[in-house]
A and B are shown apart, each in its own frame.
Chain A
Amino acid sequence: MTAEPAGTDRGTAAPVAGARRAAGEATPADLSTPADRYRMMRLIREFDTLALEWVRTGEIPGGIHPYIGQEAVAVGVCAALGPGDRITSTHRGHGHVLARGADPARLLAELAGRESGLNRGRGGSMHAADLSLGILGANGIVGAGAAIAVGAAWAARRSGRDTVVASFFGDGALNQGVLLEALNLASIHRAPVVFVCENNGYATTLPVAAAVGGSAVGRAAAFGIPAVTVDGMDADAVREAAEEAVARARSCGGPGFVECLTYRYEGHHTMERRMRLTYRSPEEVAAWRARDPLERLRPAVPAAEIDAEVAALLERAAAWALSEPRPDPAEAGAYLYAGGPPPRPGVPV
């Protein structure tokens, strides 16, 4: 007996308006040209702008951690990955999940708690995942993804595949024991992992300078892992550093570590809008905004055309997502186990 409702296999998911791919087909995003990368950064920016709006209107319950400002990191790293590669993501995961090629319509549906969402409405923003694309999940626990990435990389290598796993995490994760333990495991197993530290200057309200003894790259170096720091507002700089680390990892040269200096334009979480926090000066925010990763790439691509294309895609995706049904409350316990009897209900009245 199984707790899974019938007829909800991945393969039978509804076709998606504006999807880059048909449902069920695992094709990571093609980010090979500057136009591709600009398009993806624009998609992430506009996706999260829409998501912010949906938090305000209540379409998205609970809120989100917006990725706006950090687009060059997700896009630069995912541009360096190949079709069979994998990623682990964070609480601020929309950018990573989209850049790896997840369907924006199904991610929107997920955020709105719909049955046809990436996680069937069970995960929401902090747990968005598409395993068919090698996305081993956003994660609600800071630092948790890094060790998962090492294990996934080890398992792939062991079965003879040349898979690389990119693990995204914030500066806050630099102080989690599990992250340091993961660096060591990756080092001793020469695991094909690229650790990507998105240093956006803050863990919620805590500045990096007050939190991180030593440095990000110093931590990696201490475990014998080659590490570089790059401008995380420059998708090409990120991509080049990631390509080098990915190539080394793929050819059995062991893990790498890329620290990307970046910034989130919005508050830590949408809840922050309701608080009067003053941990960042308006001048600081403006200075980083002036280094916008999309503006940097704009002159090199047919930007107006792409912007219109992305806007149309998101409009279709939004309409589709909001028209999709919500999960049946009777299925609240579904998917808890792979097999075995369903759990007892809460109240046997």
Chain B
Amino acid sequence: MTWLSYTKALNRALGDAMAADPAVCVLGEDVGAGMAGPTLGLQARFGTDRVLDMPLSEQAFTSFALGAALTGMRPVVEFQIPSLLFLVFEQIVNQAHKFRLMTGGQARVPLTFLVPGSGSRLGWAGQHSDHPYALFVHAGVKTVVPASPADAYGLLRAAVEDDDPVVVFAPAGAMGAREDVTGQLPPVPLGSARVRRAGEDVTVVAVGHLVAEALQVADDLDGEVSVEVLDPRTLHPFDWAALRASVGRTRRLVVYDDANRGCGVAAEVVAVAAEEVALLAPPRRVTRPDGAVLPFAPDLDRASQPQPHQLRDAVRAVVK
């Protein structure tokens, strides 16, 4: 029995990817010291030539990684805080993401963007607490949000091996998770969801760290409601077949999504379910509020995030 933490899983995935392929390199701020966790020890193991400490020049080093990706490298770029994604939206979306189509398929763009500690870390306030995965889904950039250590390993390996840009969100709320794993961890293909708990009455689609909370709520409601918990794992491309299969059976849906409500991932999931399944009850979203900016004070921060009791109420409402 081996307990693997989420952070260690990311760390192991990077180490294994670098060992497997000399084209894989890692760059970002304080990656040599391993400040954020996932890069700990990698510089000592692979050298400063493959684990590059970058100055605070996110826009330049993101496109630097793109330049290297276009010419044979397979870079992983780590961002210390989720809001740095706002800073490099141009480089990820307008440059990296569009490059392949604009060049008529000439280019491969094997680039991974890793965001450890996305979402709220209590007390980090407005500019450090965003969970902007829906922006990348909207733009069409491949986007994954692993919920468990094994998935963190498998999805990061798959992201690095993918020939398109992939943004990997590692939610702060998941990074403390530990999992009993034995033997070799397999890569997890992008675009494949996982039923984390089978149920009959209602499907709860939960994203990232909220998967664990959804499982807990499902257990709490055991005997009252039979809840199926579906973890999409990849938000784009989304595993619509898995959603159809689950909601096709339960015909009731709640989405538990730690991001702003309007035009979010939950909205898209609800829309597709409504288009494709004859639902027995109006679906529900449990999300952050519209356009939320997380206030500093802990009670306000928590009140701006979706909470288990809200999920429980929503589940009860759709089965009523």
Contact = CB atoms under 8 A, between A and B. Distances in A.
A172 B287 CA distance: 35
Contact of A124 (B55, B57, B125, B292): B125
Interface residues of B, number: 48
B237 interface: no
B127 A329 contact: no
B296 interface: yes
Given A205-B32, A349-B314, A127 B292 contact: no
Interface of A is mostly: loop
A173 B56 contact: yes
B53 A62 contact: no
Interface stretch (B7-15, B241-249, B301-309): B301-309
A130 B121 CA distance: 25
B122 interface: yes
Contacts of B261: 344, 346
B295 A327 contact: yes
A343 B291 contact: yes
A62 B124 contact: yes
Contact of B295 (A121, A126, A172, A204): A121
Interface in B290-320: 290-293, 295-304, 306, 310, 313-314, 317
A215 interface: no
A60 to B, nearest CB: 7
A222 interface: no
B140 interface: no
Given A126-B127, A206-B53, A347 B35 contact: no
B313 to A, nearest CB: 4
Nearest to B32: A205
Contacts of B299: 113, 326-327, 329, 332
A299 interface: no
B297 A122 contact: yes
A346 to B, nearest CB: 4
A275 interface: yes
Contact of B297 (A177, A326, A343): A326
Contact of B29 (A206, A336, A343, A347): A206
A345 interface: yes
A292 B32 CA distance: 30
Contacts of A126: 124-125, 127-128
Interface stretch (A137-145, A184-192, A301-309): A137-145
B126 interface: yes
Interface in A333-349: 333, 336, 343-347, 349
A346 B289 contact: yes
B55 A206 contact: yes
Given A126-B128, A142-B56, A177-B57, A346 B35 contact: no
A175 interface: yes
A131 interface: no
A121 B287 contact: no
A25 interface: no
A333 B304 CA distance: 8
Contacts of B32: 205
A124 B126 CA distance: 9
A176 B286 CA distance: 37
Contact of B313 (A60, A113, A332, A349): A349
The majority secondary structure among interface residues of chain B is loop
A61 interface: yes
B53 to A, nearest CB: 6
A9 interface: no
B127 A141 contact: yes
Contacts of B83: 140-141
Interface in B45-75: 53, 55-57, 59-60
A312 interface: no
Contacts of A143: 56
A349 B284 contact: yes
A177 B60 contact: yes
A332 B295 contact: yes
A61 B300 CA distance: 12
A346 B310 contact: yes
Contact of A347 (B53, B127, B286): B286
Given A126-B128, A203-B55, A327-B297, A349 B317 contact: yes
A349 B310 CA distance: 8
A275 B297 CA distance: 25
A62 B117 CA distance: 13
A347 B300 contact: no
Contacts of A333: 289, 292, 304
B123 A60 contact: yes
Interface string A126-154: 11000000000001111100000000000
Interface in B84-136: 87, 121-128
A275 B313 CA distance: 40
Given A141-B83, A172-B56, 5 more contacts: A113-B296, A124-B124, A124-B125, A176-B57, A349-B310
25 contacts: A113-B123, A113-B298, A119-B296, A121-B296, A122-B295, A124-B124, A126-B124, A126-B125, A127-B125, A139-B127, A141-B87, A175-B55, A175-B57, A176-B56, A203-B29, A203-B55, A206-B30, A327-B299, A327-B300, A330-B303, A332-B295, A332-B299, A336-B293, A345-B289, A349-B317
Interface of B: 29-30, 32-33, 35, 53, 55-57, 59-60, 81, 83, 87, 121-128, 261, 284-293, 295-304, 306, 310, 313-314, 317
Nearest 6 CB-CB pairings of A with B: A62-B123, A61-B123, A124-B296, A140-B127, A113-B297, A175-B55
